Amino acid sequence: MSLEADVRAALSEVVDPGRGQDLISAGMVKGLQISGDTVRFVIEVDAARAGAMEPLRKAAEEAVLAVPGVARAAAILTAHAAEGEARANAAKGPKGPAPDLGLGMKKPAAPAKARPEGVRHVIAVASGKGGVGKSTVTANLAVALAARGKRVGVLDADVYGPSQPRMLGVSGRPSSPDGTTILPLRNHGVTLMSLGLMTGENEAVIWRGPMLMGALQQMLGQVQWGQLDVLLVDLPPGTGDVQMTLAQKVPLTGAIIVSTPQDIALIDARKGIDMFNRMEVPILGLIENMAAFVCDGCGKVHHPFGHGGARAEAERLGVPFLGEIPLDLAVRVASDSGAPVVLQNPEGPEAQAFWKIADGLIGEGVIG
């Protein structure tokens, strides 16, 4: 038998007492991944029973660990709604203006929101388009704020493309002393939780929406963040499930939008701003990344993606413009090395751009 077959056989011996069926027969095991001697999987449970399913999750992990050839096992619980409830939730859509269907129906009450325990402010760092340097901005801004004496955390919510472990120079695996609470890792004065710490750099996360949302809610609610002045949430690009779930579950202090000056990036940035407006999340400002670079040979300033597009867009939309970040090889090299440029060259023009944005957020009272 293969290792996967042995793992599935072990899980078939673990019975859900509520259903009277084993996990495999009940179809509760999702996203099974085996990498070397490490096994990861999701257990999908009924939402109404989610709070009481921790013993089942622990039993499943122990069963897999007993399989010869398995050294590490990690199971994540995710709750799915009943079909009727899922349809009802989908019909509600995001908060904000909804079309009047002329039926005299009242708007449903918004679900209760809660910040992670001990966290004063939660700020989303978003972009409508991928490839604009949102994660680089998040990492440098986090380290800059920490250097200014703020207690800072980063939640890497870009589940399919987690890059914060590399950018912040964090390696290793978060621990869980009680099987319920997750202890995050820390470097450069920043506390970090990322699914990238649970998977290998070359491993793809092949999950559908419900598993994705379950992982996000665990990273929000079950991580022991400690006392933080601000938790920066590095969001995936776009306006999908992760953004909606975060805005619906957490009272956000606001959102920062990252864009390049290029028109095609600004089109998607507008969509991101519109989404947050409809979700009633304040827009803290727009950052123009990769604004310009200085030629090493002639000293001339070049604007490969155009110039001033984000500033003009911020003025047009009536949102704050937080600053421009230059396009420079040093930013990329520093990010890849795990020590952001605000640490490697704090006096350089690239770092100065991040310091200015961090000081602006503090000075405006956004981060108390």
Domain assignment present for residue 308? The answer is yes
Domain assignment present for residue 111? The answer is no
Domain assignment present for residue 192? The answer is yes
Look at residue 299 and give its three-state secondary structure.
coil
Instruction: Give me the pLDDT at residue 97, please.
Output: 44
Q: Kindly indicate the confidence band of residue 96, based on its pLDDT and cuts at 50, 70 and 90.
A: very low
CATH number at residue 214: 3.40.50.300
Q: Kindly indicate the confidence band of residue 340, based on its pLDDT and cuts at 50, 70 and 90.
A: very high
pLDDT at 133 over 60: yes
- Both 235 and 283 in one domain: the answer is yes
Structurally, the chain folds into a number of domains equal to: 2
Q: Kindly indicate the confidence band of residue 93, based on its pLDDT and cuts at 50, 70 and 90.
A: very low
- Both 165 and 236 in one domain: the answer is yes
- Both 137 and 249 in one domain: the answer is yes
Domain assignment present for residue 152? The answer is yes
- Both 215 and 328 in one domain: the answer is yes
- Both 44 and 162 in one domain: the answer is no
Instruction: Give me the pLDDT at residue 293, please.
Output: 65
Instruction: Give me the pLDDT at residue 88, please.
Output: 42
Containing 74, the helix (H) or strand (E) segment is strand 72-80
pLDDT at 90 over 50: no
Residue 186 has φ and ψ, to the nearest 5°, of -150, 140
pLDDT at 103 over 60: no
- Both 150 and 19 in one domain: the answer is no
pLDDT at 354 over 60: yes
Is 30 in contact with 211 (CB distance < 8 Å)?
Answer: yes
Q: Which residues contact 229 (CB under 8 A, 6 or more apart)?
A: 120, 121, 145, 150, 151, 152, 367, 368
The Cα–Cα gap between 252 and 18 comes to: 36
Q: Kindly indicate the confidence band of residue 368, based on its pLDDT and cuts at 50, 70 and 90.
A: low
- Both 172 and 245 in one domain: the answer is yes
- Both 181 and 250 in one domain: the answer is yes
pLDDT at 138 over 60: yes
The tens digit of pLDDT for each residue in 290-332 reads: 877 677 777 677 666 667 778 888 888 888 999 998 888 888 8
Q: What is the mean pLDDT of residues 165-174?
A: 89
The structure tokens listed for 280 are 């009633």
Residue percentage of the chain with pLDDT more than 90 = 34
Q: What is the DSSP track for 162-173?
A: --HHHHTT--S-
Q: What is the DSSP track for 87-151?
A: HHHHHH-SSS-----SS-PPPPPPPP--PPTTEEEEEEEE-SSTTS-HHHHHHHHHHHHHHTT--
- pTM, full prediction: 0.70
Instruction: Give me the pLDDT at residue 213, please.
Output: 75
pLDDT at 42 over 60: yes
Is 55 in contact with 179 (CB distance < 8 Å)?
Answer: no
The Cα–Cα gap between 346 and 355 comes to: 9
Secondary-structure percent of the chain, ordered helix, strand, coil, rounded to 5: 35, 25, 40
Domain range spanning residue 52?
A: 3-80
Instruction: Give me the pLDDT at residue 67, please.
Output: 93
Look at residue 87 and give its three-state secondary structure.
helix
- Both 145 and 263 in one domain: the answer is yes
The tens digit of pLDDT for each residue in 47-56 reads: 666 667 788 8
CATH number at residue 76: 3.30.300.130
Look at residue 245 and give its three-state secondary structure.
helix
The structure tokens listed for 257 are 């939008």
The Cα–Cα gap between 310 and 314 comes to: 6
pLDDT at 151 over 60: yes
The tens digit of pLDDT for each residue in 179-230 reads: 778 889 999 999 999 988 877 777 777 666 677 777 888 888 889 999 999 9
Domain assignment present for residue 113? The answer is no
The tens digit of pLDDT for each residue in 244-262 reads: 889 988 999 999 999 988 8
Domain end (from 54, 80, 106): 80
Is 74 in contact with 39 (CB distance < 8 Å)?
Answer: yes
- Both 164 and 264 in one domain: the answer is yes
Q: Average model confidence (pLDDT) for the chain? A: 82
- Both 182 and 291 in one domain: the answer is yes
The Cα–Cα gap between 270 and 198 comes to: 33
Instruction: Give me the pLDDT at residue 52, please.
Output: 74
Q: Kindly indicate the confidence band of residue 69, based on its pLDDT and cuts at 50, 70 and 90.
A: very high
Q: Kindly indicate the confidence band of residue 45, based on its pLDDT and cuts at 50, 70 and 90.
A: confident
The Cα–Cα gap between 340 and 188 comes to: 9
Look at residue 41 and give its three-state secondary structure.
strand
Residue 129 has φ and ψ, to the nearest 5°, of -125, 145
Comparing 15-19, 82-86, 109-113, 215-219, which segment has the lowest mean pLDDT?
82-86
Higher pLDDT, 212 or 101: 212
CA angle 250, 253, 258 (to 5 degrees): 105
Domain end (from 23, 56, 80): 80
Containing 119, the helix (H) or strand (E) segment is strand 119-126
